[in-house]
């Protein structure tokens, strides 16, 4: 469960990113956050794993404050959270498998990961993750040889290899064509259903949100202006 309690974020230049957000997201939910550019979607998502620090309030995960977590505890909490970006954020010049293995970094010592000495079980796990997103045959290709949609599926596999319990996807399909967009959204939805991974996706197209979400949260100027089932979401929100 993810809880936002009176969460606000004011950027150092005074811009308000989030303004007093209160939300509860249950385990296994597939939530889509919609809103115009600048509404605060990215700020909200990135505040969950503290890629952005909030300036007021608390965010709790399974009852534990990630806002207050430090050191090893924060690292452990972050390990449960997989992040997917619009621009894929893969290491371009190395293999797909290496990229997926980077999801295992939090499970090993720095030396192991620096030397790239991952145990066999990790490789098995990563290949399985690639299989789940139907891209196993690309394991030994260089990441930058893949199409955009394939690269995004690799980043989903990386989150699976991380054994994330929560996936945060920040505009994951914004740079993809309509067909590839569907494939990536289908993958996210299927993984949510098969593995019960809590999934929060930022989208700026309400039509796509309606098609995939069971719950839509609408943001405007850093505030929640809609929160409910898909049927009730209109273009006004």
Question: Which residues would be at the binding site for ligand ADP (CB under 6 A)?
Answer: 11, 13, 15, 17, 35, 37-43
E runs forming strands in 156-212: 166-170, 198-203
206 by Cβ neighbours in 10 Å (0-12 / 13-18 / 19+) ranks as buried
Query: Which of 199, 197, 198, 206 lies closest to 225, judged by CA?
Result: 206
The smaller minimum CB distance to ligand ADP, of residues 1 and 36, is found at 36
Report the 10 Å Cβ neighbour count for 208: 18
Identify whether the C-beta of residue 130 lies closer than 8 Å to the C-beta of residue 136: yes
Q: Please report how close the Cβ of residue 194 comes to ligand ADP at its closest, in angstroms.
A: 28
Q: Please report how close the Cβ of residue 227 comes to ligand ADP at its closest, in angstroms.
A: 16
Q: Please report how close the Cβ of residue 191 comes to ligand ADP at its closest, in angstroms.
A: 23
Q: Please report how close the Cβ of residue 89 comes to ligand ADP at its closest, in angstroms.
A: 12
The smaller minimum CB distance to ligand ADP, of residues 11 and 134, is found at 11
To the nearest 10 degrees (0 to 180), the angle between helices 148-161 and 178-195 is: 20
The smaller minimum CB distance to ligand ADP, of residues 25 and 203, is found at 203
Q: Please report how close the Cβ of residue 17 comes to ligand ADP at its closest, in angstroms.
A: 4
The smaller minimum CB distance to ligand ADP, of residues 127 and 221, is found at 221
Output the CA torsion 133→137→140→144 (10° steps).
Answer: -60
The smaller minimum CB distance to ligand ADP, of residues 41 and 98, is found at 41
């Amino acid at each position: 469960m993810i809880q936002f309690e009176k969460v606000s974020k004011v950027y150092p230049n005074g811009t308000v990113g989030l303004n007093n957000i209160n939300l509860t997201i249950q385990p296994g939910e597939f939530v889509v956050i919609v809103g115009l550019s600048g509404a605060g979607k990215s700020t909200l998502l990135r505040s969950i794993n503290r890629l952005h620090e909030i300036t007021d309030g608390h965010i709790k995960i399974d009852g534990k404050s990630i806002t207050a977590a430090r050191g090893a505890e924060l690292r452990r909490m972050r390990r449960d959270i997989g992040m997917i970006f619009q621009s894929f954020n893969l290491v371009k010049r190395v293999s797909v498998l290496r990229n997926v293995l980077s999801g295992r970094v939090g499970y090993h010592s720095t030396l192991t990961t620096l030397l790239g000495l991952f145990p066999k079980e990790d490789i098995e796990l990563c290949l399985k993750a690639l299989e789940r997103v139907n891209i196993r045959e690309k394991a030994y290709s260089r990441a930058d040889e893949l199409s955009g949609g394939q690269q995004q599926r690799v980043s989903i596999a990386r989150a699976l290899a991380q054994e994330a319990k929560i996936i945060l996807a920040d505009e994951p399909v914004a740079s993809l064509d309509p067909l590839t967009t569907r494939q990536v959204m289908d993958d996210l939805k299927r993984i949510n259903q098969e593995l019960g991974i809590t999934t929060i996706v930022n989208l700026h197209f309400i039509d796509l949100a309606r098609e995939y979400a069971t719950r839509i949260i609408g943001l405007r100027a850093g505030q929640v202006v809609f929160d409910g089932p898909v049927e009730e979401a209109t273009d006004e929100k």
